[in-house]
């Protein structure tokens, strides 16, 4: 999941430490916030369809819940690590704080590859994960959600298992559920749309007409699909998209200089974000190396895959034309690469601001589930737009006022909000 030279949790702590210095955070609060409050590591026995039993390793990390119940997704990935989950939980704390929703940060994961598991095996794995953490999660404690290679069906199996264990109906236990089973309209689009709401506001700030911009995306999962879709509706032109090919077990970049249509590509993309290479070629796409997305002569780069994708080894390949990097993924830029972007004057929309649309809509889903009253899609997206716009403007204002890099400005807001909650509760 990450290069061996880049530990995501070390990166997350380094980002925190830098801003803790900027705001002169006291030592006790620093110690409390630079590491998770609670971790659960466990084994999940799963009966496979062939009658054998396989043991999977699972995690749930709760970084901080001073502002509300822990919140964060569950990843199924063959290269999942404890440090990846720790980093993601920490980033979730800052993400919830920057958009000012009353939640803390958590994250979960299982080391597995769901692409190699049958539906029945995936269901047993989901139920097994819940059984191991049922006493330590819940609508008022820790609320999971889908993440990389997990989906609404997985969440519903987990909800059902939690309700069986606890003997009741608790739709607010988990978000990302199917619509009609406690899920929220707009949740599928929320993260990608949130990314583009921040892009829209950033382009306004920079005085750039979106219709005159081009973009290149890494990844074509849920985030990039809907970000590219909305970007096209806004008038922007997507030139390249890079994604993993499940057949060839490598990534490719699909390029079309007169623009790629996201909705058409989505029609030839599988559930894991893998574009059908032959059909893409028939549509007129050039098939390039997977890393070529980074080198395109575009205005906007949108890394929307996994962490540690823009590094010191490849950051100098970014075209001089690029004016903005928008982190649709969590932690896609390493600290040394970040320094390069800062020196080049590239406008950065950091991950925990750019992709906060997902957790914001998850919060909306919690509110709807707990009240048993559901909003229509337009209302959800209007509320999401308002939240994301306000968050961007607040971060941009701090950035301008204190002459801070956008990532640092976002951290200043988030860390101050969490630190204040910790102190008001009397924890330090």
* Separation between Cα atoms, residue 352 and residue 63, nearest integer Å: 15
* Separation between Cα atoms, residue 247 and residue 135, nearest integer Å: 40
Active site residues: 107
Angle at 107 between CA 365 and CA 54, to 5 degrees: 110
* Separation between Cα atoms, residue 247 and residue 254, nearest integer Å: 16
Please give the full DSSP string across 298-366, using - where no structure is assigned.
-SEEEE-S-SS-B-TTTGGGS-TT--EEE--SSS-B-HHHHHHHHHHT-EEE-HHHHTTHHHHHHHHHH
The full length of the chain comes to 428
Q: What are the backbone angles phi and psi of residue 305, rounded to the nearest 5°?
A: -115, -105
Q: What is the dihedral of CA 123, 330, 416, 393, to 10 degrees?
A: -110
Task: Decide: helix, strand or coil at residue 386.
Answer: helix
For residue 385 the two structure tokens come to: 């737009």
Inter-residue contact 330 to 86 (CB < 8 Å): no
Task: Kindly list the distances between the CA atom of residue 93 and the CA atoms of 106, 127, 143, 175, 356, in Å, as whole numbers in the listed order.
Answer: 7, 26, 13, 17, 11
């Amino acid at each position: 999941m990450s290069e061996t030279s880049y530990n995501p949790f070390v990166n997350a702590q380094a980002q925190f430490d830098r801003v803790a210095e900027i705001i002169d955070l006291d030592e006790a609060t620093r110690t409390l916030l630079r590491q998770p409050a609670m971790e659960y590591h466990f084994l999940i026995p799963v009966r496979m369809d062939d009658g054998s039993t396989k043991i999977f390793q699972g995690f749930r990390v709760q970084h901080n819940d001073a502002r509300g119940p822990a919140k964060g997704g569950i990843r199924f990935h063959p290269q999942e690590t404890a440090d990846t989950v720790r980093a993601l939980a920490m980033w979730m704390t800052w993400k919830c704080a920057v958009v000012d929703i009353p939640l803390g940060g958590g994250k979960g994961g299982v080391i597995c590859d769901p692409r190699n598991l049958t539906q029945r095996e995936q269901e047993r794995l989901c139920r097994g994960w819940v059984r191991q953490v049922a006493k330590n999660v819940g609508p008022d404690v820790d609320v999971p959600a889908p993440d990389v290679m997990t989906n609404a069906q997985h969440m519903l199996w987990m909800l059902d298992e939690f309700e069986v264990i606890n003997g009741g109906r608790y739709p607010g236990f988990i978000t990302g559920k199917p619509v009609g089973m406690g899920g929220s309209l707009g949740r599928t689009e929320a993260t990608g749309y949130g990314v583009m709401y921040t892009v829209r506001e950033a382009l306004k700030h920079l005085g750039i007409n979106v219709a005159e911009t081009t973009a290149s995306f890494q990844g074509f999962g849920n985030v990039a699909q809907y970000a590219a879709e909305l970007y096209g509706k806004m008038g922007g032109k997507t030139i390249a998209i890079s994604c993993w090919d499940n057949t060839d077990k490598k990534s490719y970049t699909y390029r079309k200089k007169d623009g790629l249509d996201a909705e058409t590509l989505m029609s030839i993309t599988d559930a894991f974000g893998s574009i059908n290479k032959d059909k893409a070629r028939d549509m007129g796409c050039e098939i390039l190396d997977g890393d070529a997305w980074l080198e395109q002569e575009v205005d906007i780069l949108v890394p929307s895959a996994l962490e540690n994708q823009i590094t010191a080894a490849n950051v100098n390949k970014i075209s001089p034309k690029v004016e903005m990097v928008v982190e649709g993924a969590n932690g896609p830029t390493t600290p040394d690469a970040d320094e390069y972007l800062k020196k080049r004057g590239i406008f950065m929309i950091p991950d925990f601001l750019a992709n906060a649309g997902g957790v914001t809509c998850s919060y909306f889903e919690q509110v709807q589930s707990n009240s048993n009253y559901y909003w229509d899609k337009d209302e959800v997206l209007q509320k999401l737009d308002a939240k994301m716009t306000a968050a961007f403007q607040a971060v941009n204002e701090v950035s301008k006022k204190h002459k801070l890099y956008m990532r640092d400005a976002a951290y200043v807001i988030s860390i101050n909000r969490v630190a204040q909650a910790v102190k008001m509760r009397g924890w330090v």
